[in-house]
Amino acid sequence: MSVKSYEEKTASIPEPIVRLNRIVLLAGVVAALVLQQPLLITLLFVIILPAVIFGKSASPIFLISSRMLSRQIEGSAAESPRLMRFNNAIAAVLLGSSQLAFLLGVPAAGWILAGMVGAAAAVALGGFCFGCFLYYQFNLQRYRLFGK
């Protein structure tokens, strides 16, 4: 294994952790909807925000699951930390907006925004990552506008 590929592998996020992140988002949103408890949306926001601001080293999901899933992580496929951070940023914006809607007395908008996070996580678990698609489109358009 070359030095570059080793660095890329160690900097990447193993697929079992990515999957667990999606499961946590989906389960949290579903639980909040079923229980009609916006506080669970707040909890999801608090869990995701450190990963967006500081990266995987500050992500509670990454830190806990790297120990819990160590056997599944060995030899698994991996995802780019930039892509994961982009996806988490989208989730954080939607969850934060959801909280704002709840605080402003518009719970229907809050549930719709939170539901978008849950739907995206469910679709990603099914095999199509909408955030990945947006990331690709964003980079494609940025390259077209500004070049390298």
Where do we find the tokens 């989906």? Answer: 26
Is residue 118 in some structural domain? yes
Mean pLDDT value of segment 11-25: 93
pLDDT digits (tens, 9 = 90+) for 22-71: 999 999 999 999 999 999 999 999 999 999 999 998 999 999 998 888 88
User: Where does the pLDDT of residue 144 fall: very low under 50, low under 70, confident under 90, or very high at 90 and above?
Assistant: confident
Kindly state whether residue 123 falls inside one of the protein's structural domains: yes
Residue 10's pLDDT is what? Answer: 52
In this predicted structure, which of 7-11, 27-31, 60-64, 98-102 has the lowest mean pLDDT? 7-11
Closest CA to 116 of 94, 132, 140, 139: 94
Note whether residue 59 is domain-resident: yes
Q: How far apart are CA 78 and CA 86, in angstroms?
A: 15
Query: For the whole model, what pTM was predicted?
Result: 0.87
**pLDDT for position 9:** 46
In a domain, 6, yes or no: no
Q: How many domains does the chain have?
A: 1
Residue 121 lies in a domain: yes
Looking at the domain assignment, is residue 2 inside a domain?
Answer: no
Residue-level pLDDT at 147: 77
* Domain span holding position 101: 15-146
Residue 79 is given by DSSP the state E
State what percent of residues in the chain have pLDDT above 90.
74
